[in-house]
Each structure stands twice: as structure tokens, then as C-alpha cells.
Amino acid sequence: MKLFLIRHAESVDNVAQLYAGLRDSLLTNHGVLQAECLGQHLAARGLRFTDIFASDLKRAFKTADAIRLAQPMNDQRGLSYTLQILSTPLLREQDFGALEGVSYVASRQVPADVKVDLETKDRMVVRAEQFLDDYLIPVLAIEDVSQDPVVAVVSHGIFLNVLWRQLLRRFTPSSITAPPDILPADRRTSVEYLAWGNTAFLELDLGRALPHAGRQPGIPDNNIAPGTLPSPPVPLLSQWRLTLVAINARDHLTAIAKRTGGGIGSSRYDEGQKKIDNYFIRKVP
């Protein structure tokens, strides 16, 4: 299985620097372009998604839809198929309670005695575990020799970190590997705690472990610094291996990084307006 954990594109509240957990912030014009570039990039790599899961909040669902729309109409066997997005509130961002819609700066002035009622880490862990058990793990159980699953999970920055850590706990430390060039330069930095920019993704390969311990063909020896992985009490995916392929990948944004940020690009996207490229591409008469 190839698995992509993806953060949504730039939203209006991202630009305004407002707390937006359950607050259903829309994408900016620049965010829509980010999502389109992401979808085109993944499709150009020849990736044919079998499953797309997304938070039901608009900024995540619209990003997932851009991935879906960029996919070809036929699968690798030449057969037509309809790819659907399965949205679920389990993938929503942390609920910021009374801080929803409050600016980062203003939040520093909130009196200490005011009950903010943030969603706790433990409550997010429960959601993450339920998503793994009810949605992702069943995909692993599907035995389809004609096509390996290629799965996208589109969610939010804070929750993705929680989901990633819970997924990591399903594997034995010796079954987790990563190419040296994608690991942080400081090996003391834990791979548990990762960052996601807008439309950035964590790319993972999951496969059946070989029956004998030790080095596996095509996979480097475990090169993750000791003490950087969580220690699961009972690994639930002990027969599987996990390889980190890319962390916070966002090469697809290189061409637009300086083209539409700010100004019109930072405005809320209106589906009834002209395509954003019309603002930036001069047509030849």
C-alpha cells in the first residue's frame, strides 16, 4: 500500500491567522491553485488512487476533490471507474473551543480564568484510533492481487500529527525504515513529531514483512535513531513493515510559490468567479 497523509490547502483563516478547528474556513484563491497543483503532481507520477478519505470540513474536502478530479477516468487495467471521497468528522482538526475564530495575537490576551475548552490530546487520540480501525486498517485487509491500494488521507495539521503517531504505534520499531536523506539532519529529532505545510504530504509505503528478521531486499537497515520511536505495548500490525518515503513534501508548489501569494491570491475563493489563471496569465491577442 502507498499511503499519503495530506494537509489541506491554504484557507482564509490560515491567512488571517485565526484559530480554525471546527470552524469551516474556505480555501483562498491561492489555496485552490495549491490543491490543483497537488492533484496534477500526484497524477503525473502515475499514482492511481483506490481510496480517498477526507475530513468533512470544506478546506480538506475541497483539497481531496482536487486530487480526485486530477485522476484519470480509467484504472491501470484500462477499466473505467468512479473514485469517490469518503468524508468523516473523525478527521477534523482539533476543536479550539472558545478560541475558534480568535486571532493568534488576541488569544494571548484571554484571561487565565476563562474556560477555553480545547479538545484534549486524549480525545483526538480516540478519534485517530477509530479512523485507523474503521477505515484504514480494513483497506490493508483487502487482498486484491491486481492492484495495490493507493490511499490519500486529507486532514489538518494538528490532527495529522496525532494520526501519524497512532499509526506509528501499530508497527514494531524494527519494521520502520527511512532513507537517510529524508530524515532530519539532527538524528535526535523524533520522527514522531512532523510538520505539514499547506498541501504538503507524508508519503509512506506499507508492505508485508518477510518471515525472517533482518534486512529486507530493497529496504535499508533500520536507520532511525534509537529512542525516536514510540514503544507500543502490543503492535497491531506486527506482520507489516513501514517505510517513510517523503516528509512534508511540497515540490508541487515550487512553480506557484511566488506567483499568487497575497493580494487576490489570499482572498476567499468564489466558485462563480473566473479561473484564477485569468488574473495572472496575459493572453496573446
**CB-based contact 20:100 (threshold 8 Å):** yes
Number of Cβ within 10 Å of residue 4's Cβ equals 22
Cell readout for 115 is 474556560
Name which of 197, 80, 194, 203 is nearest 150 in CA terms: 203
Q: Which residues pair with 268 in a beta bridge?
A: 28
CA gap 56, 77 in Å, rounded: 31
**Angle CA 89–94–96, to nearest 5:** 120
- pLDDT band for 173, please (50, 70, 90 cuts): confident
Q: Is the sign of the CA dihedral 280, 70, 133, 24 positive or negative?
A: positive
The answer to whether 6 and 157 have CB atoms below 8 angstroms apart is no
pLDDT, tens digit, 9 for 90 and up, residues 214-241: 433 333 444 555 445 555 554 578 789 9
Q: What is the pLDDT of residues 196-212, one digit of tens each?
A: 999 999 999 999 876 54
Question: What is the pLDDT at residue 153?
Answer: 98
**259 three-class SS:** coil
Residue 181's pLDDT band (boundaries 50, 70, 90)?
confident
Which of the pair, 265 or 285, is modelled with greater confidence? 265
Q: What is the pTM of this model?
A: 0.83
Give the tens place of pLDDT for each residue, 1-41. 999 999 999 999 999 999 999 999 999 999 999 999 999 99
Q: Let me know: does 21 contact 94? Beta carbons within 8 Å.
A: yes
Give the number of other CB atoms < 10 A from CB of residue 107. Answer: 14
Beta strands in 22-97 (DSSP E): 51-55, 85-88
